[in-house]
Amino acid sequence: MSSAKQQQPAGMETKPANRKPLPGVRIILVILGLVMALVAVWGLANIHAISTYNEATRSLNTSIAEANRSDADPDRIKAIQDQTDKLFHQAESLGPILLPGTRQAIHKSKAVSDKLTRRVTRQIRSQEVAKGEEGQAADLQEQNGQGQQGLTQEQQDKVDEILRQNQQVQDPSTGPQTSQGKEDPKTVKPW
């Protein structure tokens, strides 16, 4: 007939028992929050590295396509490759925290990029050497035109040798020809 509520005087409510704060729960929640923040930072670092890797790969593909063209400009390719190498270096800089698959892909593509960079650098150097020899030969020819009295026999021999080399490089038609005067179809043409 009577309940516990009815036995209490009117206006007095029952209060739940005071609970003690649980410091262990708070510590666990803080630790979980920190772990989640670290996972988010790790994920963002991987996303950034993948994005940079994709950009570097697109640039590398452009460089490769440009290098395969017959009228390729080595200086332009070198400029693109310098940017590409910087992008691969940037993507690789987060190496220890990257996913293994991402790290391996970056490493392999960077190796291809380095190989192309070395090839283009050699090409540029060989062109510079060829231009330098042409310039030296032209300077020596100008000196010859003014009079040969200033050249020693050794210098004259060197001039003649450079001129012969330049003539062979500049005149590809001096290669072997068939008896009919037509070029051999096996002859590689430099253009």
Query: How far apart (Å, rounded) are the C-alpha atoms in residues 154 and 75?
Result: 36
pLDDT tens per residue, range 171-191: 555 444 444 444 555 555 555
Report if residue 57 sits inside a domain.
yes
Residues 6+ apart with CB under 8 A from 175: 183, 184, 187
Give the position of tokens 């950034």.
48
The rounded distance, in Å, linking the Cα atoms of 98 and 102 is: 6
Question: Residue 64 falls within a domain, yes or no?
Answer: yes
Write b or e for each residue in 133-142: b if 16 or more Cβ atoms lie within 10 A of its Cβ, otherwise e: eeeebeebee
For residue 58 the two structure tokens come to 């697109």
Give pLDDT, residue 68. Answer: 87
Q: Which carries the bigger pLDDT value, residue 135 or residue 67?
A: 67
More confident residue, 157 or 146: 157
Flag whether 25 is in a domain.
no
Express as a percent the part of the chain with pLDDT over 70: 66
Tell me the whole-structure pTM to 2 decimals.
Answer: 0.55
Q: Which residues constitute the domain of residue 73?
A: 47-142
| Mean pLDDT, rounded, of the chain | 78
- pLDDT confidence band for 145 (50 / 70 / 90): low
Is 89 inside any structural domain? yes
CA distance 159 to 139: 10
In the predicted model, what is the mean pLDDT of residues 124-140?
Answer: 73
Tally the domains of the chain: 1
Q: Is 171 within the bounds of a domain? A: no
pLDDT at residue 121 above 80? yes
Terminal-to-terminal C-alpha distance of the chain: 112
